[in-house]
C-alpha cells in the first residue's frame, strides 16, 4: 500500500494514488509504504530517484547499519514501533529515509517510511495531524512527531497495565487465593511483565533514534527542543516502567506465597492423618505377632476388643489435634 501525504493549510492530508501519473501530480511531505509491492517500489524509484533497500525491514540487520547517513545526503533510520495487542504483542521494524541536502533529487524534503504491517502510532499521528493545524511543517516534523506519538502510545500502554495490575492486586490482597485463581493471576502477571519489557525495549530504541537525529545537526532550533522534550518524556517513562516491574515482582511473590500456603495446608493434613494412624497400626501390629501364648487368642471378645482399641487409638489423636487447631 502506497500512502502519500501532503500539507495543506497546516494540516496533513492523504492523497489517492493509483498510478505513477497520480504520484507525479503531488508534492508530498511524507510517503508511507506499507508492505509495498514491486510496482510501488518502481514508482518511487522512477519518480523520486529513491531505491528502497531489500533488507529495509529486516529484523536481524546489524546495529551499526540502523542509523547512518549516505554520501548523497540520505538519512537512514531503522526504528521499532510497539503494537500493544493483548493477543499478540510485538514490535514492528520501520525504515525511514530522509533527504534534506541533495537538491538534485525529487526526494528532497520528503520522508519515506517502509514497514510490513500497519502501525497504531502512524494512525494516531495521521488523525492528530488532520485535526491540529501547524503540527507538521516539514518532513523532519513528521519523523519527530512519530517518535513523540510513539512515546505517548507507550505511556498509554503503561497506564493500561497499571489499571490491570490494580485489579490483580485486589484479587491477591483479598486473601483466600485458590490454586485456580493463583494460576489466572500468574498468567496475567506474566503477560504484563512481557508487555512492560517490550515497552522498555521500544523506548530504548526510540531514544537511540532521536539522539541520532540530534547528532545529525539537521534539526532547527524548535525541532531540536522538541527532540530534547521527547528524550525527557522517555526518561520519565523509565521510572514508571521500573515501578511497574517492582509491582509485578511483588504480586508474583505474593501469589507464589499463597500457593505455598495452600500446599503447606495439604501437607499438614497428610502429616496429621499419618500421625493419627500410627497408634492403630501399633495395636494391629501387636496382635499380628505369631507368638504361641497370647491370652486374647482364645477370648471370644478378643477381636472386637482389638478393633475397638484401634478405633479409639485413632479418634483420641484426632480429637486432640482438632482442639489444638492443627487441622485448619
What does the pLDDT look like over 137-168, one tens digit per residue? 888 989 999 999 999 999 999 999 888 888 88
Alpha-carbon radius of gyration of the chain: 35
C-alpha 166 chain-centroid distance? 17
Residues 182 and 176: their CA atoms lie apart, in Å, by 10
Q: Rounded to whole angstroms, how far apart are CA atoms 3 and 78?
A: 19
Q: Does the structure show a pLDDT above 90 at 229?
A: yes
Q: What pLDDT was estimated at residue 153?
A: 92
Contact 63, 69 (CB under 8 A): no
Which cell numbers in the block locate residue 33? 509504504
Q: Give the pairing of strands 2-8 and 30-34.
A: antiparallel
CB atoms within 10 A of CB 202: 24
C-alpha span between 129 and 108 (Å, rounded): 21
Q: Full-prediction pTM beyond 0.85? A: no
> What confidence score (pLDDT) does residue 154 get?
92
CA distances from 247 to 116, 165, 182, 233, 327 (A): 35, 8, 16, 21, 34
Alpha carbon distance 217, 204 (integer Å): 21
**124-142 tens-digit pLDDT:** 988 888 888 778 888 898 9
> Does position 59 have pLDDT exceeding 70, yes or no?
no
CA distance 93 to 253: 35
Amino acid at each position: 500500500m502506497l500512502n502519500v501525504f501532503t500539507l495543506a493549510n497546516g494540516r496533513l492530508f492523504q492523497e489517492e494514488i493509483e498510478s505513477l501519473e497520480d504520484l507525479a501530480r503531488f508534492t508530498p511531505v511524507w510517503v508511507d509504504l506499507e508492505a509495498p509491492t514491486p510496482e510501488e517500489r518502481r514508482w518511487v524509484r522512477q519518480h523520486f530517484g529513491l531505491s528502497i533497500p531489500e533488507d529495509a525491514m529486516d529484523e536481524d540487520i546489524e546495529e551499526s547499519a540502523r542509523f547512518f547517513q549516505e554520501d548523497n545526503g540520505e538519512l537512514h533510520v531503522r526504528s521499532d514501533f510497539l503494537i500493544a495487542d493483548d493477543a499478540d504483542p510485538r514490535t514492528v521494524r520501520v525504515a525511514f529515509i530522509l533527504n534534506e541536502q541533495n537538491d538534485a533529487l525529487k526526494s528532497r524534503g520528503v520522508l519515506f517510511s517502509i514497514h510490513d504491517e500497519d502501525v497504531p502510532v502512524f494512525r494516531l499521528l495521521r488523525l492528530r495531524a488532520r485535526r491540529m493545524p501547524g503540527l507538521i511543517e516539514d518532513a523532519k516534523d513528521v519523523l519527530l512527531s512519530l517518535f513523540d506519538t510513539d512515546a505517548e502510545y507507550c505511556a498509554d500502554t503503561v497506564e493500561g497495565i497499571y489499571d490491570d495490575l490494580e485489579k490483580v492486586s485486589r484479587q491477591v490482597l483479598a486473601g483466600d487465593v485458590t490454586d485456580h485463581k493463583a494460576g489466572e493471576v500468574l498468567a496475567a502477571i506474566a503477560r504484563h511483565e512481557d508487555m512492560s519489557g517490550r515497552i522498555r525495549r521500544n523506548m530504548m530504541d526510540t531514544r537511540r533514534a532521536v539522539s541520532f537525529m540530534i547528532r545529525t545537526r539537521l534539526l532547527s532550533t524548535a525541532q531540536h527542543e522538541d527532540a530534547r522534550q521527547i528524550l525527557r518524556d522517555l526518561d520519565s517513562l523509565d521510572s514508571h516502567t521500573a515501578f511497574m516491574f517492582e509491582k509485578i515482582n511483588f504480586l508474583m511473590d505474593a501469589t507464589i506465597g499463597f500457593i505455598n500456603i495452600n500446599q503447606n495446608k495439604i501437607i499438614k493434613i497428610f502429616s496429621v492423618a499419618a500421625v493419627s494412624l500410627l497408634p492403630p497400626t501399633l495395636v494391629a501390629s501387636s496382635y499380628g505377632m505369631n507368638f504361641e501364648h497370647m491370652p486374647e487368642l482364645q477370648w471370644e471378645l478378643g477381636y472386637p476388643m482389638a478393633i475397638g482399641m484401634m478405633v479409639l487409638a485413632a479418634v483420641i489423636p484426632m480429637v486432640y489435634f482438632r482442639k489444638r487447631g492443627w487441622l485448619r
